[in-house]
Structure 1
């Protein structure tokens, strides 16, 4: 848990390489709801307004309690740009959960917290359109679609005690923020490898796309895209055209 520990940096993993698929283990089958009222997801993990949305937004009223969803240790308590007042908690399995747009932070860096403990109050700080909790789940700096790991139902189920994560679930471009993604949970490495091979490796050109924009979204270089698709940097892209990504 202490590796890459930094209180003054939102993402201390910027120089690490993450191999896919990777394993996440849980010691429990349920998490604690981050809010006391019924969970209403107003925006999901995915591509939104021309940029990635790395978490889910849960409706609340300013001043509502915000709770840690798992046991852990507080790594970061700062005002973080568009996230506003933010708390980041690292958990025993290596996951980090991010709680953003808070009006108050009620924990300190390096505090140990338990599942369900109040860590702050909901608000509208940072780049927020109305009061809500922006909740992210990250592993070694990579955001994971929270709905792959957690079922945001009234039972607060963790989808499996053993999960394997493929690139699809760490790439907002593969999801829409306006609808729930269809979840197929991989509980073994073999399932994840087969699922990874079946995942789409083709991008369909949309209005406004450029090779530079596509490369940045998929963490590739323009030269790689050109080699994969036998095109030049000056090639004209057509809406509906398919671009191979790997």
Structure 2
């Protein structure tokens, strides 16, 4: 019975789309007054039904997509943490914000206890913000909830997608306060703080992602009392989407690119890496590339006496 209904809905949508040319011809004869669009979700995709002020106006009833929200509706998926897996990004790309401020994700002072970057030799793809178990966790921007569920080391997680294509990830929660496909406002509580997943003590793990790949949150937002968005328009480069360029123990020097001209050639060059082979040591790798061991340690956030693993990537430029 359910499958038959689903097939009928799909068939109706197809038939209605064929009626679009009729609507186009009709609109040329008489201008229709659209009051608003009713947002619907059919088979996981967003579609928009036009609602007209004059109810007596004749028009075919059909569902149309909203072409202005491509970034917002792309690969909408309530089941997978990352529906963009395997997709490549072309750098640099532009991000635009409708507001100059964001909402603090916590009620208390935003204290960043661990930053975006390498942490104990592994990539930390977000920032940790101090809170107590049970504290409210809030959406930093307006958006729609795409994912609510338990995800590996993240524990109980809520993901909100925003109109510019960004997604914010709120992890280690103790309780959910929203459901999938629910619209949320900036500053609205979406969960309660906790220690679920791989968490050492209570804190909020906040990630900012674009097409499934993490962005250093501090490049976009100033986590201070003013809670400012760094620019209404900015360009994101590879540097700000790779934890290996940063260290979790210190704040990166943020230089915002507001135009293409702001981006230096040096910043866009790919980092040169070396793959550790059997018998390699830090001294041998350093000598091979004309570097000091201390320089390699600093670039890779590893200790002088670190034990290397075969296949491990080491930055050598």
State the TM-score bracket (shorter-chain normalisation): 0.7 to 0.9
> Following the alignment from structure 2 to structure 1, what is the Cα–Cα distance between the partners of residues 264 and 99?
25
Q: 1:3 to 1:200 in 2, by over 3 A?
A: closer
In 2, Cα distance between the equivalents of 1:104 and 1:49? 29
Quick one: distance in 2 between partners of 1:80 and 1:244? 30
From 276, 281, 286, give the equivalent of 1:210.
276
What is the count of residue pairs matched by the alignment? 219
Match of 1:2 among 44, 69, 73: 73
Residue 88 of structure 2 corresponds to residue 88 of structure 1: no
Aligned ranges 1:1-246 → 2 under 5 Å: 1-192=72-263, 194=265, 196-197=267-268, 201-203=271-273, 210=276, 236=280, 238-240=284-286, 241-242=288-289
- Give the root-mean-square deviation of aligned CA atoms: 2.0
Q: TM-score, normalised by structure 2?
A: 0.65
The whole-number CA distance in structure 1 between the counterparts of 2:142 and 2:132 is: 24
For the residue of structure 2 that corresponds to 1:104, the secondary structure is: strand
Q: Give the drift of 1:201.
A: 2.9
CA distance in structure 2 between the aligned counterparts of 1:135 and 1:244, rounded to whole angstroms? 26
- C-alpha contact 1:165 1:192 (8 A) present in aligned 2: no
1:222 is aligned to none
Structure 2 distance, partners of 1:163, 1:149, is 8
CA drift of 1:15 comes to 2.9
Gaps of 5+ in 2: 1-71, 290-313
State the partner residue of 2:51. Answer: none
Q: CA deviation at 1:194?
A: 3.8
Which protein has greater RCO, CA pairs closer than 8 Å, 6+ apart? 1
Q: Distance in 2 between matches of 1:173 and 1:107?
A: 34
| Larger fraction in helix | 2
